[in-house]
Amino acid sequence: MADLHIRRNHPFTLDQARALCGRWAEQAQREYGLSCTHTAGADADRVTFSRPGVQGELCVSANAFELHAKLGFLLSALLPRIEAEVTKNLDALLGAQPKPLAPEGAVNRREGA
C-alpha cells in the first residue's frame, strides 16, 4: 500500500472553501468513480472517498485543504502519476476564485440599474 498526502493552504472563507470542497467531491465522483460522503463540521468539513484500490479523505478547514489517501497494491505502482493528477486538479480548483459571498439578506444589484 502507498500513502498519498497533499496539503494546500487557501485564502478563502470557510464557507467558500466548503463550496470548493463540494465541487471537488462532484468532480471526483464523475471523473474517477469515487464514492464520496461529505460530512460538515463546526470547524472543518470532511469528504471520505473510496473505490476499489483507494480510500481516503479530504479535510477542508478555514485555512487549508488536506488530502490523505491509501492506494492498494495495483494503484501503488501509479503513485507518482496519481499524485501529479490530484495535485494538478486541486491546484486548479483552488485557483478558481469563488465569487464573494453576499452578506445575508443582501441583494446583488447591477451598476446603473
Query: Cα(first)–Cα(last) distance of the chain, in Å?
Result: 59
| Band of pLDDT at residue 93, cut at 50, 70 and 90 | confident
Residue with the bigger pLDDT between 102 and 33: it is 33
Q: What is the pLDDT of residue 67?
A: 96
Per-residue pLDDT tens over the stretch 35-73: 999 999 999 999 999 999 999 999 999 999 999 999 999
Asked if residue 40 lies in contact with residue 27, where contact means CB atoms within 8 angstroms, the answer is no
Can you give the pLDDT at residue 97?
A: 54
- Considering only the top CATH level, what class is 2-94? alpha beta
List b or e across 50-85, with b for residues whose CB sees 16 or more CB atoms inside 10 angstroms: eeeebbbbbbbbeeebbbebebeeebeeeeeebbee
Res. 100 pLDDT band, cuts 50 70 90: very low
How much is the pTM? Answer: 0.79
Cα separation, 60 vs 73, in Å, equals 28
Return the domain boundaries, the chain.
2-94
